[in-house]
Amino acid sequence: MKAVTSILHKVTGSQSPIRWDEHDLTLIGSGSSGRVFLGKDQSRSPIAVKEAHIRELDEVKLLQKLSHKNIVKYLREETKEETSYILLEYVPGGSIILFQHI
């Protein structure tokens, strides 16, 4: 299995890249902008991997700037071939849609 190493190091404060295995992903959700998978980083800690076929630069730029206890933490973004991957903190408990009251 080939591991992917992110080349962006500026967001988390850590100078070491996040390594994750693109072949060891479990689908946990999907929507209009892409799919979200549960993955593991090099220390086997869970991370959310959002796959988007169109680069969502606006979302990435916004996530890079946000830092709040109620917002999922942005880790990295990388592109492989025509697919953009946004690596995020994994928060268990399902989709936020489950908690919406209409």
6 with 18: CB under 8 angstroms?
Answer: yes
Beta strands 34-40; 26-31: pairing state: antiparallel
73 is in an annotated binding site: no
Residue 40 exposed, middle or buried by CB count within 10 Å (0-12, 13-18, 19+): middle
Q: Which helix or strand (DSSP H or E) is residue 15 part of?
A: none
**What DSSP string runs through 17-56?**
PPEEETTS-EEEEEETTEEEEEEEBTTS-EEEEEEESS--
| Residues placed in the known binding site | 50
Binding residues for ATP, as ranges, are 50
